[in-house]
Amino acid sequence: MKKYLLLFVALGLSLTACNNDDDANVPTDIVVQNFMWRAMNLWYFWQGEVPNLADNRFASDAEYTEFLAATSDPLNFYNSIQFAEDRFSFSNEDYTTLVNGLNGISKSNGLEFGLVRFGSGDDLFGYVRYIIPNSDAAGKDIQRGDIFTRVDGQQLTGANFGDLLFGDNDTYTLGLATINGSTITDSDEEVSLTKFEGLTENPVLVANTLDIGGQKIGYIMYNGFTRGFDEELNDAFGQFVADGVSDLVLDMRYNPGGSVNSSRLLASMIYGTNTNDLYIRQRWNDKIQSQFSASQLEDYFASTTNDGSAINTLNLNRVYVIATNSSASASELVMNGLAPYINVIHIGERTRGKNEFSITMVDDPGNDYIYSSTRENSINPENSWAIQPLVGRNENADGFSDYTDGLAPNIVLEEDFANLGVLGDQAEPLLARAIQEITGLISKASFDPQMTGKVLMGSEMAKPGKDNMFLDKPLNRN
């Protein structure tokens, strides 16, 4: 990878040159801050909008050092050099935890849930979305649709849910409740769950073919763009092809995003292996954009997976997508990337509106701070921090990328916390509504929810990867 030193602050050798020897001269108490500033100065999408990241911000090395030392906490420093409108850049003090999280590996009890405020105060209830197979929760008496209001005997509130559910306690006990109409009543039933390291989630939770009056409808519940499971995703579409599926319901209601390349493969499985059709085009900051060739900036639909398997495609001219406010980044990217080519019928709620992609960055100046699994030995052993800054936006073939406010549904239908239904079952309300749209047949399911509400957050947001959309192809600047 060629380096262009003009991209860095034009001070002395200690600030402009990007190599390990120069970073070795940085005082130990600001090593992390130095890495963060340099990486953000080069790659951050809004670098030109943040005065403290300007190339001419510092008149001397001493002023630069003083600036870094003024904020001793790395997390606070990282937050301080972000653009005010940046909602999604984040960091992790252990890059291995972040990398594992992006690969679907985390410390978890396997319970995936959402939290909703109810009543007139700050009280919350949790509702179970699904259970990850082979997890601790999978062996307990708890399932999709269950409601809980207490953790270790304490009522969940907006003030305490972080400590109770996502704190240092590996084991907690949930107090279950029932819903009758819009009324929530505590029960005596409790379930204890324990988090274990190394739980791997296959994002293809459900994939089946429904036969509705002889019409073959594929349904897939896809919960994360995890690159290690692209083959499993392709296999699911292979079964759809074998079954003669003519319509597809893509359920991404809880999908927070992930790999950009996985989104490209999924889009190809839906639309086709038309490798001359543009899927997305990247937009970087002004310093970086001109250094990439068209082949680097543009991604076309794919004919094979990364492992070389032929893409199993349905060659559809329309797709039905279930998406909610918990659907973000790469989920929205699929919808936007397909829109110029096929009819995307969106059922559910407005999506989150995360239209920027990021890169995992570590203290490896020899690789422009970009994390590579082949360069583990080149990462500064004195600095385990990683940052996941937003570095660009993806626009579709029509040039559209402005969905910061989310993608609005064609058919509005919120989940009913009193009747979540069984995922993949024809009677599950959102799937039933999609089937009705596909077949024109009147469904027996009720589309008048008893109890709805805005989800405060989902459990996926406590995972290392959060709602990240990350670029995962080699970056070769000219």
The SS3 of residue 181 is coil
Amino acid at 229: F
pLDDT of 357? 87
pLDDT of 205? 97
Q: Is the pLDDT of residue 2 over 50?
A: no
Q: Is the pLDDT of residue 21 over 50?
A: no
Q: CB 10: neighbour CB atoms within 10 A?
A: 11
Q: What is the CATH number of domain 107-200?
A: 2.30.42.10
pLDDT tens-digit series, residues 416-427: 999 999 999 999
pLDDT band at 3 (very low <50, low <70, confident <90, very high): very low
Amino acid at 17: A
pLDDT tens-digit series, residues 254-271: 999 999 999 999 999 999
Phi, psi of 178 (to 5 degrees): -125, 155
CATH class of 204-358+394-447: alpha beta
pLDDT of 432? 95
Q: Is the pLDDT of residue 9 over 70?
A: no
Residue 59 region by backbone torsions, left for phi larger than 0, else alpha for psi between -120 and 50, else beta: alpha
Domain definitions of the chain by residue range: 107-200, 204-358+394-447
pLDDT tens-digit series, residues 106-154: 889 999 999 999 877 899 999 999 999 999 999 999 999 999 999 999 9
Give the pLDDT mean for 18-36.
74
> Bridge partners of 321?
250, 346
pLDDT tens-digit series, residues 293-328: 888 899 999 999 999 999 999 999 999 999 999 999
Q: CB 358: neighbour CB atoms within 10 A?
A: 24
Same fold for the domain at 107-200 and the one at 204-358+394-447?
A: no
User: Which stretch of 97-111, 157-171, 396-410, 457-471 has the lowest confidence by average pLDDT?
Assistant: 457-471
% of the chain residues with pLDDT over 90: 74
Q: Is the pLDDT of residue 102 over 90?
A: no
pLDDT of 451? 87
Q: Is the pLDDT of residue 186 over 70?
A: yes
Q: Is the pLDDT of residue 104 over 90?
A: no
pLDDT of 7? 31
Between the alpha carbon of residue 217 and those of residues 207, 214, 238, 383, 438, the distances in Å are 11, 9, 14, 51, 9
